[in-house]
């Protein structure tokens, strides 16, 4: 009991920030004592100064909005298509026979490897980034939706049939609700992927966006500004993930995992 | 006049086989059962004898060779005239108690306030007032099965198909649920076909018991139960009449269970 009392502090809101604060302090100390070359790793104070400077201007905000828009479009399209494809795969043997090998073959492919291909097709800009995000989000959504629909217990389907559910209603009334926990799991994975692909695609195939900004600062040796831009996207991605958890908790109150997720 | 005495459920020459590793496995063989309107019939037998398969065929969930007639018409698929209660409750976990009970009603043609009234009455009948807005995961096994029964009763089916409805409950809860089912049946006089492996349960609740053999499932014995349902459980359970018939059924089931054991040992 004593041990759990002592570690309890880490689970308070303030306690969760504690390791982060310690990390920043060590970083600052390492820079101040010249143990780390500030040219390669600017101290947190320099990054903070750059961050304040960036937040005063509109550059970071405009580019961040561009990136978020691209990530959101790709995520929404990828999620919608993924849910539909996953549902079809689980409900139609013929459809699965056609699609499963393609999904299996591309699942482990790093989607960023296809960015040069998208550049060839769509040039430099939004379409290429959205395509990369779309593809990266699509696969976890397909796989998770399929899993959720295919694992629907037979008695639930039979029970629904005996209560007068038509074949057409079955998808919306039984299969989708049953797959919802898995769909949310897929969404959380896809959300992470959407940031990864939006930023990496912007670095090589865009004239704007936060990815391009980070890349430019790096090329020009403005490492404090580069870190500040990275910090911005880290915070935004973190908030997006928390928001997703909030939404998940709201819609999965009925599910066992709702309790487990709250503890995490 | 013939139409009036025609059985509610008529199972004729029903056989069902599943694809096996080498040869098909015969689960049911030439099963004939008929159930009259308002009758409570139980099917008991060793586990794996195909009892549940039989119920699923009557429910219209599985196809089989032979015929199942309900009101003289061949069963084509699942229908709201046959309410089903499964051992594993089969509640929709994403719906609250109230919405689970409302689910079947919403697929019917009743006006909304009438549906709400029926759901409310049933929540009272199963004693879950105050739990209307809980989700199934927040309920005990007994409560879940009560909701499942209420959900089925809400659609007012003429026939109840019960697949080991109390098999997953502890002994005390099971007795309470049996009493509740008996009360509901005495009130509504629905036609009931119940699968169970609990001999006392079958004797306590049924008008008639069919004993099924080890695979392939066949009806090998039939017992008519003529007990006074108005006397309390403890009096009935200690009475000679109850125990005599219980022992007869038990010996018959045991014989089949031992045969099933031998069959399994050989495989």
Q: Chain A: residue nearest B93 by CA?
A: A254
Q: Do B104 and A163 touch (CB under 8 A)?
A: yes
Mean pLDDT computed over B155-183:
90
Question: What span, in angstroms and rounded, lies between the C-alpha atoms of B67 and B84?
Answer: 19
Is the residue at B55 inside a domain? yes
Mean residue pLDDT across chain A: 90
Q: Domain with B184 in it: what CATH number?
A: 3.40.50.300
Chain B nearest C-alpha distance from A88 (Å)? 22
pLDDT band for position B191 (50/70/90)? very high
CB contact under 8 A, A162 and B93: no
- Could A165 and B94 be called an inter-chain contact, meaning their C-beta atoms sit closer than 8 Å? no
Tell me the pLDDT band of A1, cut-offs 50, 70 and 90. very low
Domain count, chain B: 1
Per-residue pLDDT at A24 exceeds 80:
yes
Q: Looking at the predicted structure, is the pLDDT value of residue A53 above 50?
A: yes
- The answer to whether residue B107 sits within a structural domain is no
CA nearest to A169 within chain B: B107
- Candidates A160, A163, A249, A253: best to mutate against B (most CBs of B within 10 A) is A163
DSSP code string of A8-28: GGGGSHHHHHHHHHHHHHHHH
| First-to-final CA distance of chain B | 51
- CA dist B199 to A215, B59, B249, B253, Å? 76, 23, 7, 8
Q: Are the Cβ atoms of A160 and B88 closer than 8 angstroms?
A: no
Query: In this complex, do B78 and A161 lie within 8 Å of one another by their Cβ atoms?
Result: yes
The answer to whether A230 and A63 have CB atoms below 8 angstroms apart is no
Assess if residue B149 is contained within a domain: no
Among the listed residues B157, B151, B139, B159, the one whose alpha carbon sits nearest the alpha carbon of residue B102 = B151
Q: What share of chain A is helix, strand, coil (3-state, %, to 5)?
A: 85, 0, 15
pLDDT average, residue stretch A89-107? 93
Q: Is B186 within the bounds of a domain?
A: yes
Residue B207 lies in a domain: yes
Disruptive mutation site among B84, B92, B108 for chain A (greatest number of A CBs within 10 Å): B92
CA distance B129 to chain A (A): 19
Q: What is the mean pLDDT of residues B169-198?
A: 90
A34: region left, alpha or beta (phi > 0 left; psi from -120 to 50 alpha): left
A128-158 pLDDT tens trace: 999 999 999 999 999 999 999 999 999 999 9
Residue B4 has pLDDT above 60, yes or no: no
Check if the beta carbon of residue A240 is closer than 8 Å to that of residue A191: yes
State what percent of residues in chain A have pLDDT above 70.
94
Give the domain extent around B240.
2-81+157-266
Task: Give the pLDDT score at A5.
Answer: 67
CB within 8 Å: A163 and B151: yes
**pLDDT at residue B2 in the model:** 44
Residue A81 has pLDDT above 90, yes or no: yes
Contacts of A256 in chain B (CB under 8 A): 137
Question: What is the value of ipTM here, to two decimals?
Answer: 0.89
* Chain B contact set for A253 (CB, 8 A): 135
pLDDT score at A262: 47
CB-based burial label for A181 (10 Å; 0-12, 13-18, 19+): buried
> Taking CB atoms and an 8 Å limit, are B56 and A158 in contact across chains?
yes
B92, A180: Cβ pair inside 8 Å? Answer: no
Mean pLDDT on B20-26: 83
Region of residue B156 (left: phi > 0; alpha: psi -120 to 50; beta: else): left
pLDDT value, residue B247: 94
pLDDT in tens, B96-148: 999 999 999 998 888 999 999 999 999 988 889 999 999 999 999 889 999 99
3-state secondary structure of B170: coil
Residues of A with CB under 8 A from a CB of B: 153, 155-156, 158-165, 169, 174, 177-178, 180, 253-256
B57 or B261, higher pLDDT: B57
A264, pLDDT greater than 50: no
């Amino acid at each position: 009991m004593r041990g759990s009392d002592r570690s309890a502090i880490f689970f308070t809101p303030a306690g969760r920030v504690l390791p982060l604060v310690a990390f920043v302090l060590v970083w600052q100390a390492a820079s101040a004592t010249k143990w780390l070359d500030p040219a390669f790793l600017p101290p947190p104070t320099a990054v903070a100064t750059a961050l304040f400077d960036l937040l005063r201007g509109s550059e970071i905000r405009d580019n961040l909005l561009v990136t978020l828009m691209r990530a959101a479009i790709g995520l929404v399209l990828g999620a919608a298509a993924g849910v539909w494809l996953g549902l079809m795969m689980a409900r139609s043997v013929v459809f699965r026979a056609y699609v499963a090998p393609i999904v299996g073959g591309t699942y482990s492919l790093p989607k960023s490897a296809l960015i040069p291909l998208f550049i060839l097709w769509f040039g430099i800009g939004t379409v290429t980034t959205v395509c990369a995000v779309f593809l990266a989000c699509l696969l976890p959504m397909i796989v998770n939706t399929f899993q959720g629909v295919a694992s629907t217990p037979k008695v639930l389907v039979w029970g629904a049939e005996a209560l007068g559910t038509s074949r057409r209603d079955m998808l919306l009334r039984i299969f989708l609700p049953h797959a919802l926990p898995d769909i949310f799991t897929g969404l959380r994975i896809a959300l992470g992927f959407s940031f990864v692909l939006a930023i990496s695609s912007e670095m090589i195939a865009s004239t704007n966006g936060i990815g391009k900004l980070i890349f430019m600062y790096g090329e020009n040796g403005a490492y404090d500004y580069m870190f500040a831009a990275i910090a911005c996207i880290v915070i935004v991605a973190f908030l997006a993930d928390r928001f997703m958890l909030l939404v998940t908790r709201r819609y999965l109150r009925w599910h066992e995992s709702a309790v487990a997720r709250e503890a995490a | 006049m013939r139409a009036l005495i025609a059985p509610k459920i008529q199972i004729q020459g029903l056989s069902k086989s599943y694809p096996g590793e080498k040869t098909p496995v015969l689960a049911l063989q030439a099963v004939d059962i008929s159930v009259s309107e308002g009758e409570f019939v139980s099917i008991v037998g060793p586990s794996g004898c195909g009892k549940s398969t039989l119920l699923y065929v009557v429910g219209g969930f599985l196809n089989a060779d032979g015929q199942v007639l309900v009101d003289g018409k061949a069963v084509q698929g699942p229908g709201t005239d046959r309410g089903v209660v499964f051992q594993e409750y089969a509640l929709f976990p994403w719906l609250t108690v109230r919405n689970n009970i409302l689910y079947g009603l919403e697929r019917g043609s009743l006006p909304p306030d009438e549906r709400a009234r029926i759901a409310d009455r049933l929540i009272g009948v199963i004693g879950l007032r105050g739990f209307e807005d809980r989700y199934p995961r927040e309920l005990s096994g007994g409560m879940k099965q009560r909701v499942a029964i209420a959900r089925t009763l809400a659609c007012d089916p003429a026939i109840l198909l019960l697949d080991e409805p109390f098999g997953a409950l502890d002994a005390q809860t099971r007795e309470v649920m049996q009493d509740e089912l008996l009360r509901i049946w005495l009130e509504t006089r629905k036609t009931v076909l119940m699968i169970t492996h609990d001999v006392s349960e079958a004797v306590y609740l049924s008008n008639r018991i069919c004993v099924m053999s080890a695979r392939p499932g066949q009806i090998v014995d039939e017992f008519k139960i003529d007990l006074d349902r108005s006397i309390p459980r403890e009096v009935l359970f200690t009475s000679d009449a109850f125990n005599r018939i219980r022992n007869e059924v038990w010996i018959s089931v045991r014989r089949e269970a031992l045969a099933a054991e031998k069959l399994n040992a050989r495989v």
